[in-house]
Every structure is written in structure tokens, then in C-alpha cells.
Structure 1
């Protein structure tokens, strides 16, 4: 049903969610609860675990099973740092295979949301999609605390774009006081997308859960996510609704 103002009730958009390094699907679901509440009945979130357990060591001193990774930038022991330039990306291929398997078994998905290392993986999936090496539809991606992986094979993958910009609508959520992923890294990642939409929040390394955010041009926070059923979908954090404009 469509109102005179062009609003329409649509099935929720289905979004695959990828957690950060040393997180799990359960932890990410919990930490993103406020953000998901803003979008209740608008987006259907599906959370999965990274396939690799962070081994007992400096990054998992208690050897717990709730510390997982999408890949490692160093070995002996397996280790990851977003700041590390490395020839290693151990486990990355298995993670891409897992994403493909998830699209096959739980999809289709309208979009992917990633946090931290998960957002770096989303960017790499987008690169594969642009190169026609990821054969699943993507209407949009959301990258929270995103960064570009410095693993050599990943940089070569981006180089293969050969100045192409990734033509997937993207939303980049950036913390002004993020001490883990500097906002400059997140902005740099947004520059590989053709039409990035950037929203800043005043917090740190987290998924924001309130409406006190601003766009890069300090205007009202209305930004397009995707086209869906011949409609333009806007997420308005101020009114906390997705607005459908015919």
C-alpha cells in the first residue's frame, strides 16, 4: 500500500552481517542491537561467524571460542592487525567461500553490513563483484569502521580494478573518535566506491545506536541506500525510518 507521500510497506531488506576481528556473530548481534532497533521491521539481519578461531596468545590470552577472524595477516601464532603490511592473508579464501555458501543456502541477500575487519571483507567482496568474480546480486553495502586491507594479495586485487570505482551503493559509518580504525582510513576506503554516502558519529570503534550523527556536508541525514522494487530507499536517522520514494 502506498500513501500520498509515496511511503510503501515492503518486505524487509535482507542483510548479511559480518562481525569484527575477535568477535562472533552473537557478540556482533548484541553490540549492534541499538542500530538494529532503529531499523526494526525494515531490515532482516542475518549474522554468521568467521571461520577461523583466534588462537591462544596475545590476541586471545584466555583461549576462548568467542574470538574469531576472517583472515590473519601473520602466523606463528595466527595474528591480525589492520595496520600491518603483509604478504600473508591466511584463511581469506575460506572466508570468501563461506560468504558464497551463505548466499547459496540462506540468500538471496539485498546487502551486506560489515564492522571493522568484517567491513574490510565486505570491500573485498565488492571488488570481486566489480571484477565479475562474485556472482550474486548486491543492492547495497554498509561499512562501519571500514578500512582497506594491507595484505599484498588484497592490494593486488584492488589494483586489478584499474581505476574503476566500485559501482555498488555504499554507506560508510565513521567514528570521529575511533582509536582502532582512524577515520582517515575509513574515508580512504570510501573513495574506491562510485557513490559513497558517509555518516560520521561522535563515538569510537562501535556501531552507533542513536541519531546524533551527521553527513560529511553537515546536512540533514537522508541518504540513499538502494533501488528496490522500482523505489528509492532512504534511511533517515533523524526520524528513524526508511522512507520509500516512488
Structure 2
């Protein structure tokens, strides 16, 4: 497990008023640095609206990474699972690790997640509501979900989705993403989802055209919401 000192990678943009602070959770067997590179393909006009903090998962990669040869190691994973995705290992340790980081480096307003990080992010508001996770930090105010899905372990599902996800959420849904049907299930569990469709697969897409307008509108709404609650 790497030291927490190099887990946080800020966006380096100063601000006079507090921007919404977002904890960014990377995909399975990737890293904070990889997610940072992927997200920084987005327009500067969007990135300037948020204070993005990127965190490496607690466990070193325990198998081959899909990004080997594309992005340099090291690679990390948030928790482990069986072939059916119905049983998790080190899940409680993962939740505690995230909360400890949020306590030391927060307060955080929202979560951004890709792939396994998106599954975690999408389940956090419900787990927080049930007192299972993030009990010592402020309530999650919004979600940005990229290539997400719902948890499938029954013990987690009953707590994470016992009520609709009520905080505003932005979802990126790829036409050829293998997780697409499961991403739709997560969207159906949200009260206020904004859905951005893109033609790619399981990846973090570039944002332009009408999508840029819709994402900017969501970001501005989140900015106002966080200003009011300051």
C-alpha cells in the first residue's frame, strides 16, 4: 500500500472562492495518475470549475491490468471480487481507507468515479445514508459517474440502493461500453440523473458540442449548490 502523501494530486488551479472539492476514484487495476491524465482531456473551462483530488486505491494490482502497455504502472485495485461479482474481499477495508483520506484531506463535496471507482461512487450515498460508510464526513452532495454500474453483492446491494439516489448525478454512457446495461440500471436508481451519451466504449470520453453545454450546466448547478451550503 503506497503512502497517502502521494495519493492526492490536485489540479493546481488557485481560486478565491471555494470550488466544489471532488474525490476522484480510478478504475480497476489503474491509478490516480492514469485517471488524472484521462480526465484532463476535458476542456479547461470545465476543469476550472472543480477542485479535483485523485486517490490511489489501497491494494496493489493482484493480476494483469487492462491498461498495461498503454499507461505505466503501478496499478491499484479498490477491492477484489469473485467471477460473478457477487462476493467482495477487502470491501470494508476499502470503505475505511476512503473515509480516512476524506477526513484528512476534506471536506469533499462530491465523488467522481470511473469503472470500479464509479461503482463505488454510485453506491456511496446509499451506504452513507445507512451508516455503513462515510459516517464521519459530510454528506455526498453530487456524483460524476463514468462507465458505472451498481454493486452486485447482495449484502451491499440491500444497503446501497434501499432508497433512490437523491443527490444530483452526471452519468457518461458509452454506446459500446460492456457495462452499458448496468450503467442504465444505476441511472434508473437516481432521482436527478443527467445522462451524457457518447459513441465510445468503456473509456473516459472527450467532451464537446451539446455534451459540453450539458456538462457545463451540471457543473454550474453544482457550483451554486456548494456556494449556498458554504
Query: TM-score, normalised to structure 1's length?
Result: 0.73
Contact 2:78 2:94 in 1 (8 A): yes
User: 1:107 and 1:58 mapped to 2: Cα distance?
Assistant: 30
Q: Deviations over 1:182-239 (max 9, x none)?
A: x221111012222111111122211122214559xxxx624474312239xxxxxxxx
Q: Does 1:98 align with 2:100?
A: no
Measured on the aligned residues, the alpha-carbon RMSD in Å equals 2.7
- The answer for unaligned runs of 5 or more in structure 1 is 1-8, 75-80, 232-246
Q: CA deviation at 1:154?
A: 1.9
User: In the TM superposition, what whole-angstrom CA distance separates every residue of 1:45-71 from its partner, at most 9, and x where no partner exists?
Assistant: 101111112224687999x95221111
The 5 A counterparts of 1:124-135 are 124-133=123-132, 134-135=134-135
1:98 Cα offset (Å): 1.1
Match of 2:192 in 1: 195
In the TM superposition, what is the alpha-carbon distance from 1:85 to its structure 2 partner?
4.1
For structure 2, list consecutive stretches of 5 or more residues without a partner in the other structure.
Answer: 1-15
Asked whether the 8 Å contact 1:35–1:207 carries over to 2, the reply is no
Task: Name which of 121, 136, 139 aligns with 1:137.
Answer: 139
Contact kept, 8 Å, 1:54 with 1:60, in 2: the verdict is no
The whole-number CA distance in structure 2 between the counterparts of 1:45 and 1:150 is 28
Q: Distance in 1 between matches of 2:106 and 2:65?
A: 36
Secondary structure in 2 aligned to 1:28? helix
CA contact (8 A) 2:26 2:32 kept: yes
Higher helix share: 2
Residue 116 (structure 1) aligns with:
115
Would the aligned equivalents of 1:175 and 1:202 in 2 still touch at CA under 8 Å?
A: yes
SS in 1 for 2:182: helix
CA contact (8 A) 1:89 1:153 kept: no
Alpha-carbon distance, 1:42 to partner: 1.2
Out of 2, 7, 26, the position equivalent to 2:33 is 26
Superposition TM-score, scaled by structure 2 size: 0.78
Structure whose alpha-carbon radius of gyration is higher: 1
Match of 1:172 in 2: 171
Q: How many residues align?
A: 204
Q: 2:21 aligns with which of 14, 36, 45?
A: 14
Contact 1:147 1:185 in 2 (8 A): yes
Q: Residues of 2 paired with 1:213 and 1:185: CA distance?
A: 24
* Aligned CA distance change for structure 1 residues 28 and 196 (closer, same or farther; 3 Å): same
